[in-house]
């Protein structure tokens, strides 16, 4: 990655990102990365504090002559979504992310890159290391566990921060200034499963859905992409009447905030029916390829050899498939006030039948609390109809847009001065930590911006190197003008 260090303006940023990429930092397992952030702050001679959650707050004094300027907090999260392509063999608890440069793009080899939000963390540290920026008093807040419920930001104590303004560095499109976001809540459905021996003479098979794009369950929920869990459930429901197979297990998705790319079912089938079953599977694949079209052109539904073992009791198997068919997924409502903005959605994110329990996880997002409550009520009703228990976890608030705020105008003007064009000012259908921080600091003005990156939360995640340079210029300009 030596070429990333060639640009003197962004050299420090890329050096920090390269070092951070060597440290395992999946959500709830980012203690080493959090400690590393604190070490960088101390090495730069800054004041460093760390709370019980692992959140790190670093303070740096103002540049000479800027001591009376308003304090600014730079905020990012250190954890990352850990996704990999099947067969990659990456151990996210131990292995470093393998960075791959592809022209202007930076990717990882078979895994998520962690640019979300490693670029933001690295930019904040690079600001602390920069001796030429004429900034006022600075705070750098690096949170933990953003990706699995924003629990780091949710446990920040009131009074810890002193800043008047907060710059969240967790946006994913250059030229976009985010000033609001949706709130969210997790639904977890569970049902105890009875396991029995399969009927004599059956052979184990694995029915696998793969090749889908997946993506961020907020940003990409309206992109028309397939949900591997839903595709698999509908295939199983369509095939069951003619083939009478037994369902041994069902697994799909890894994160409740990522659209599932892959899902598979272990089943037991009369081997005499295998040729007809393969033909029916091929028809299912053709149907779904036609339905998804260019939104997800690489869908695959394949039948493979399975592993022997017990199967689910018929009632349990039917109840699980029924829930996966009836639970909502996708866009529920568009915003009537902001063209193109999703107002309410739900992501059917994870299904798993290990440990004797069938578990289904969904993430509901909405900028309207009443809509969020109504949708989780529908999920609860679908769970009850299929004999599943339903509980809610990790609710977090939205962030109300304030388009006339002074900070919004300042960042936009800095962008115009640098690049001769205004920023696109918007709210997004995704969770940002600003909502939770704003609850604790209601007087603090906040905005979010960042470089262009794509396919976050998937192994196709990639970031534009040139865009990171533009992001860095804007960040410096904003800090010098506050």
Answer with the one of 370, 396, 422 that is the final residue of a domain.
396
- 256-289: pLDDT as tens digits: 889 999 999 999 999 999 999 999 999 999 999 9
Phi and psi angles of residue 310, each rounded to the nearest 5 degrees, phi first: -70, 165
Most confident of 146-150, 229-233, 396-400: 229-233
Residues 224 and 290 in one domain: yes
Q: Is the pLDDT of residue 245 over 70?
A: yes
- CB within 8 Å of 78: residues ≥ 6 apart: 20, 25, 30, 33, 34, 37, 56, 117, 118, 121, 142, 143, 144
Residues 196 and 289 in one domain: yes
Annotated active-site residue in 30, 116, 139, 146: 146
- 39-55: pLDDT as tens digits: 999 999 999 999 999 99
- 405-446: pLDDT as tens digits: 999 999 999 999 999 999 999 998 988 899 999 989 999 999
Q: What is the mean pLDDT of residues 128-157?
A: 95
Residues 422 and 386 in one domain: no
The sign of the CA dihedral 276, 280, 285, 286 is positive
- 344-375: pLDDT as tens digits: 999 999 999 988 899 999 999 998 889 999 99
Q: Is the pLDDT of residue 1 over 70?
A: no
Q: What percent of the chain has pLDDT over 90?
A: 88
- Concerning whether 316 is annotated as a catalytic residue, the answer is no
Q: Output the pLDDT for position 431.
A: 82
**Structural domains in the chain (count):** 2
Residues 450 and 468 in one domain: yes
Q: How does the average pLDDT of the chain come out, rounded?
A: 95
CATH of the domain at 453: 3.40.630.10
- CB within 8 Å of 347: residues ≥ 6 apart: 217, 221, 227, 256, 257, 258, 259, 329, 362, 363, 365
Residues 224 and 367 in one domain: yes
Q: What is the mean pLDDT of residues 379-386?
A: 97
Pairing of strands 183-192, 389-396: antiparallel
Answer with the one of 339, 364, 396 that is the final residue of a domain.
396
State the Cα–Cα distance between residues 332 and 342, nearest whole angstrom.
8
Q: Output the pLDDT for position 278.
A: 98
- CB within 8 Å of 141: residues ≥ 6 apart: 55, 56, 57, 73, 74, 75, 76, 156, 161, 166
Q: Output the pLDDT for position 143.
A: 98
Residues 258 and 346 in one domain: yes
Residues 239 and 302 in one domain: yes
Residues 243 and 302 in one domain: yes
- 2-26: pLDDT as tens digits: 778 778 999 999 999 999 999 999 9
Residues 119 and 195 in one domain: no
Q: What is the mean pLDDT of residues 294-318?
A: 97
Instruction: Assess contact for 363 and 259: CB atoms under 8 A.
Output: no
- Concerning whether 79 is annotated as a catalytic residue, the answer is yes
Domain that holds residue 190: 185-396
Q: Is the pLDDT of residue 217 over 80?
A: yes
Phi-psi region of 201 (alpha: psi -120 to 50; beta: other; left: phi over 0): left
């Amino acid at each position: 990655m030596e070429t990333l260090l060639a640009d003197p303006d962004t050299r420090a940023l890329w050096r920090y990102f390269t070092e951070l990429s060597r440290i395992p930092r999946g959500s709830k397992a980012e203690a080493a990365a959090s400690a590393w952030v604190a070490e960088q702050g101390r090495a730069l001679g800054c004041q460093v504090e760390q709370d019980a959650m692992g959140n790190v707050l670093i303070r740096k004094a103002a540049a000479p002559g800027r001591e009376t300027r308003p304090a600014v907090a730079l905020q990012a999260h250190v954890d990352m979504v850990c996704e990999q392509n099947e067969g990659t063999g990456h151990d996210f608890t131990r292995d470093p992310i393998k960075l791959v440069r592809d022209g202007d793009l930076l990717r990882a080899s078979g895994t998520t890159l962690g640019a979300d939000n490693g670029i933001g963390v690295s930019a904040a540290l690079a600001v602390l290391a920069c001796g030429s920026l004429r900034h006022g008093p600075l705070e750098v807040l690096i949170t933990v566990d953003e990706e699995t419920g924003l629990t780091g930001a949710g446990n920040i104590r009131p009074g810890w921060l002193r800043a008047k303004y907060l710059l969240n560095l967790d946006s994913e499109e250059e030229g976009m200034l985010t000033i609001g976001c949706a709130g969210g809540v997790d639904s977890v459905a569970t049902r105890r499963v009875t396991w029995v021996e399969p009927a004599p003479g059956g052979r184990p098979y694995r029915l696998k859905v793969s090749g889908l794009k997946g993506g961020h369950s907020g940003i990409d929920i309206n992109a028309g992409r397939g949900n591997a869990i839903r595709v698999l459930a509908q295939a199983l429901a369509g095939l069951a009447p003619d083939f009478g197979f037994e369902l041994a297990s069902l697994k799909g998705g890894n994160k409740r905030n990522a659209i599932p790319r892959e899902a598979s079912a272990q089943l037991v089938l009369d081997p005499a029916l295998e040729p007809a079953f393969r033909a029916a599977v091929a028809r299912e694949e053709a149907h779904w390829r036609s339905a998804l079209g260019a939104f997800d052109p690489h869908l695959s539904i394949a039948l493979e050899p399975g592993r022997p073992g017990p199967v689910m009791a018929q009632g349990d198997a039917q109840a699980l498939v029924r829930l996966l068919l009836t639970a909502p997924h996708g866009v529920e409502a568009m915003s009537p006030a902001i063209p193109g903005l999703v107002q309410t959605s739900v992501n059917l994110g994870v299904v798993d039948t290990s440990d004797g329990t069938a578990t289904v996880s969904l993430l509901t997002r909405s900028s309207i609390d009443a809509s969020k409550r109504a949708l989780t009520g529908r999920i609860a009703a679908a769970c009850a109809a299929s004999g599943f228990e339903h509980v809610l976890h990790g609710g977090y608030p939205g962030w109300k847009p304030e388009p006339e705020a002074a900070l919004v105008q300042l960042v936009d003007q800095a962008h115009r001065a640098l690049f001769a064009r205004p920023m696109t000012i918007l709210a997004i259908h995704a969770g940002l930590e600003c909502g939770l921080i704003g609850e604790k600091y209601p007087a603090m003005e906040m905005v979010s911006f960042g470089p262009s990156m794509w396919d976050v939360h998937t192994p196709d995640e990639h970031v534009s190197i040139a865009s990171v340079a533009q992001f860095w210029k804007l960040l410096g300009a904003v800090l010098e003008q506050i």
